[in-house]
Each structure stands twice: as structure tokens, then as C-alpha cells.
Amino acid sequence: MKRILTLVLSLVILISLTACGGGSDNQTDQTGSSEGDVTVINFFHRWPNEPKNTFFNELVAEFEKQHPNVKIKMDKVLNDPYKEKLRVLVSSDDLPDVFVSWSDSFAKNIVSSGKVKAIDYLYKEDSQWAEGIMETQIKPFQFNGKTYGAPLTIDGKAFFYNKDVFSKYDLKVPTTFEELIDILEKLKTNGYESPIIEGLSDSWAISHYLGTMNQRMMDPEVINKDYNPQTCEFTDLGYIKVLERFKTLTDYMGTVATAIDHETARNMFASGEVPIVYMQFAEIKMVEDAGDINFGFFDFPKFKDGKGNPTALTGAPEGFMLGINAPQEAEEFLKFIISKENAFKFTKECGQFTALKEAVTEENATKQGLEAYKVIMNASETAPWLDNAVNIRVADAFMRGGQSLVIGEMTPEEVMENVQKEAAKLSE
């Protein structure tokens, strides 16, 4: 009898525990605290600031709503820290499922790790999606006959200038570098301590200057040779001239430039404090939101002794890549981001142009935005940012050297010696 009683009691306890356990498992699945049948996508981007931060938060929430079986773990940091963290993730075999990448050499370096998924099959399987993307913007993500990324943004770099200030002092948009220096000198004599500004604490901002100036100065054959890690030397004296003229420009920025970042420099322009700043068209909305100034823009003027194309526009697409082990849901998320609907919303809410056809219109872009968009679309050619165009070691030598040059710690010749040393290591 005792045996039977013990057996009955054990059975009752077992049933009770099973019922409680079942309720617990169901609750865990619903809250997503346990993976269970939920697919987790690791998503990494470089826009923690507004309005892009809110845009991507809402984008993630909408995708999760449409896909209840998916949980997206999102991480985000700004430009330079993003690059550094991405390098660490690549070296530690922990590349995210979906992540932002610049194009050209930056993307190529990541692809060379063998940890990025080729996505040609996505373009083939979903022709409707693929046909909506500008083919010219896909090319910078293609290496060794394969496609490794999908472009979201297109951009260009130009000098933004305060039209009212130019009108007040009867200044005309410069067509040569010498004319630009004359304008800066006139503005300085009229009370502008810093007639032009940049946040030189951001090394990438220096690379944007030097990349454009190299392109304007150098013979295209020299650029093609030196930007190739197998043949680079950087011995042409034109690079010295570029650094000398960069130093001349930064002398008009005052001492504050070395202590601030690019965002601060942009706000100084938007508030009317500084009349000229070198910026991306993606920043038009930021200027419009931050201030109420009448502004226009002009391309980087030509060098009289330059051998490059003076009508080329510095800029490159930026998009998304997939880690080699990314699940199918990550592929769907990538296509969801780079859809015409979300691209339209991205331009409207964030002010940046996209690589989706017919996704920039009068409905989602301002008059100045449409003007800038036409500049991008009508450029004779585009030149990638320097830190995307050359090996990262070489880019770092240019950027660190540029910072040291500005504060007088290095000469142009010393900067180029370091660049040449890094270039030599690539062929060892």
C-alpha cells in the first residue's frame, strides 16, 4: 500500500511540475529572452546620432513586427570607432550578420578576410528588388567577379558657403584654388577669424580633403598606381604640393579647428559663425534643421598645375554586407532596409540620398537637396574617399600625418616619408 501511495504522489508531483514547466517555456518564448524558435540577427551600423538613430530603431521594430520569429540585436557607434570595432570583429571571427560598409578598398579589405557572404544569388533570385538599385552603385562592392554588398546611400562632397556673406562682400564662387585663398583672405580682413572651418580631431575629415586634393593634383595614372597596394610608391612630388596647400587652408581655420569634431564645425556654419565649410551633401538636412541661413555649395576648385579631372566629384556609395554565416532572415532584413519604400523614407527623414532608382523626388527632398542630387547624378566621374580608396595603413599615415602637419609637428616631406614606409610594407 505504501508503494502504491508513493507512486501516486510522485505521479501527481510530476504532472504538476510538467504543467508549471510548460507555462514557463511558453512565457520565455513570448518574451524572446530565450532563443527557442526565434532567429537572432546581429545588426551593426554607424549612426547612433539623430535622425538616423530613430530611423533605424523604427526600421528594426517594423521588421520584427512583420517577422515575429526574428529578434534583431542592434549595435551602433560613430565613424572612426565603427571602423576600429569592425576590424576587431573581423579578426575575432565575430562579424555581425548584417553590417554597414563603405565601398571600394574598405569593403575589399573586409571581403579578403573570407568572412563576408557573396550575395550575387540575392540579385538573381529577386530581380524586382535588384532592378530597383542603380547598377553603377553596385560596382564598388564587386570584387573578383562577385558582389558582396548592396548600396543604400550615394553622396558627394562640396564646399558649403553662406550666400548672404558672399553677397555682402561681393564674393564670387571660386573656380581655382588661388581664387579660394583670395576669398578666405578677404573674409579674414573683414573680421572672420576663421573664414573656413573643419573638425580636424576627426581623422576621416582630413582624408576627405586629402583624397579630393590628390585627385585634383595627380595624373590619373599615378593615382591608379599608388592606390593599388601591389604597386603603390607615393613618390610623386605632387603629394607634397597637396599637403602644402592643405596646410595653407587649415591656417585659415584658426586654432579651434584642431580641438573640435566635424559636427561642431557644421554647427558653426549653420549658426552663421563661419561662412565656409567642406561637407557632404548628406548634411544638407542637418544644416537646415540646425540653423536658418541662406547657403549654397561649390565643388572643390581646380589647381592650375593639377593633372586630374577638375570636374570629378568626391563621393562613394555606402551599403550593407552579410557575415558569412548570416541566416536567411538576415538576407530578408538587408533587402527590407534597401527597399524603395524605406529608401524614400530614409531620404525624407534623414536627408540623405539613396542608390534606389526614383527614390529621391520633390516629395522627400528640399529644393537644395534636389540641386545637390543633380550634381551627384551629373558628375563626370566620382572619386572615392581617400580612406576607402587606399590601403588602411596608408590612409592612416595620411590622416595622422595631416593632423601632425596642421599643428606644426611634421612637414609635408615627413608625412610622405611615413606614407611611403607604409606603402613599402604592402609589397614585402
Locate the domains of the chain by residue range: 39-155+316-370, 157-314+391-426
**What's the CA gap between 399 and 83, in Å, rounded?**
14
Q: Are 180 and 139 in contact (CB under 8 A)?
A: no
Give residue 64's identity as a one-letter amino acid code.
E
Per-residue confidence (pLDDT) for residue 27, from 0 to 100: 31
Per-residue confidence (pLDDT) for residue 425, from 0 to 100: 95
**Residue written as grid cell 610594407:** 425
Name the CATH topology of 157-314+391-426: D-Maltodextrin-Binding Protein; domain 2 (3.40.190)
Per-residue confidence (pLDDT) for residue 6, from 0 to 100: 43
What SS3 string covers the chain? CHHHHHHHHHHHHHHHHHHHHHHHHHHHHHHCCCCCCCEEEEEEECCCCCCHHHHHHHHHHHHHHHCCCEEEEEEECCHHHHHHHHHHHHHCCCCCCEEEEECHHHHHHHHCCCCECCCHHHHHHCHHHHHCECHHHHHHHEECCEECCEEEECCCEEEEEEHHHHHHCCCCCCCEHHHHHHHHHHHHHCCCCCCEECCCCCHHHHHHHHHHHHHHHCCHHHHHHHCCCCCCCCCCCHHHHHHHHHHHHHHCCCHHHHHCCHHHHHHHHHCCCCCEEEEEHHHHHHHHHHCCCCEEEECCCECCCCCCCCCCEECCCEEEEEECCCCHHHHHHHHHHCCHHHHHHHHHHHCCCECECCCCCCCCCCHHHHHHHHHHHHCCCEECCHHHHCCHHHHHHHHHHHHHHHCCCCCHHHHHHHHHHHHHHHCC
Residue 50 has pLDDT above 60, yes or no: yes
Please give the residue that has the higher pLDDT: either 205 or 382.
205
Burial 117-146 (b: 16+ CB within 10 A, else e): bbbeebeeeeeebbebbbeebbebbbbeee
The CATH number given to 39-155+316-370 is: 3.40.190.10
Mean pLDDT score, 103-113: 91
Q: Are 119 and 285 in contact (CB under 8 A)?
A: no
Per-residue confidence (pLDDT) for residue 219, from 0 to 100: 97
Residue 35 has pLDDT above 80, yes or no: no
CATH topology of 39-155+316-370 equal to that of 157-314+391-426?
A: yes
- Tens digits of residue pLDDT in 333-343: 999 999 999 99
Look up the pTM and report it: 0.81
Cis ω before 301 (30° cut-off from 0): no
**What's the CA gap between 133 and 355, in Å, rounded?**
6
**What's the CA gap between 352 and 334, in Å, rounded?**
18
Per-residue confidence (pLDDT) for residue 216, from 0 to 100: 97
Residue 25 has pLDDT above 80, yes or no: no
Q: Which of 121, 116, 181 is nearest to 148 (CA)?
A: 116
**What's the CA gap between 57 and 73, in Å, rounded?**
11
Distance from CA of residue 344 to its chain's centroid? 19
**What's the CA gap between 221 and 65, in Å, rounded?**
52
- Tens digits of residue pLDDT in 256-283: 999 999 999 999 999 999 999 999 999 9
Q: Are 331 and 194 in contact (CB under 8 A)?
A: no
Per-residue confidence (pLDDT) for residue 18, from 0 to 100: 36
- Tens digits of residue pLDDT in 356-398: 999 999 999 999 999 999 989 888 888 889 988 999 899 999 9
Per-residue confidence (pLDDT) for residue 79, from 0 to 100: 85
Mean pLDDT score, 84-100: 93
What is the percent of the chain with per-residue pLDDT over 70, rounded to a whole number? Answer: 92
